[in-house]
Amino acid sequence: MTHEDEYAIPIVENDFEKGNIRKKSHLRPNRIFTADSSIILYSAGHLKKKAIDSVIEKVIEILRR
């Protein structure tokens, strides 16, 4: 199941510099939280700079509202 909303940024295989994801996914910059490292199961990979910049731009947009 994916959770799409007006802030969701689709993530596709091409967005990864290293690694990948196996399901249709979205980054949700309006759902920022702190996660203890003990709940992280694994790293899916590393996003390319362009994808990271998209997230940063969206966070700035959210904060300016």
What does the domain layout of the chain look like in residue ranges?
9-64
Q: Could you list the beta-strand ranges (E) of the chain.
A: 9-11, 16-19, 25-27, 45-47
Residues 6+ apart with CB under 8 A from 54: 9
**Taking 70 as the threshold, does the pLDDT of residue 2 lie above it?**
no
**Taking 90 as the threshold, does the pLDDT of residue 1 lie above it?**
no
For residue range 14-58, what is the model confidence (pLDDT) as tens digits? 999 999 988 888 999 998 889 899 999 999 899 999 999 999 999
Q: What are phi and psi of 12, to 5 degrees?
A: -120, 170
pLDDT value for 62: 92
Whole-structure pTM value: 0.75
In the structure, what pLDDT confidence band is assigned to residue 3 with cuts at 50, 70 and 90? low
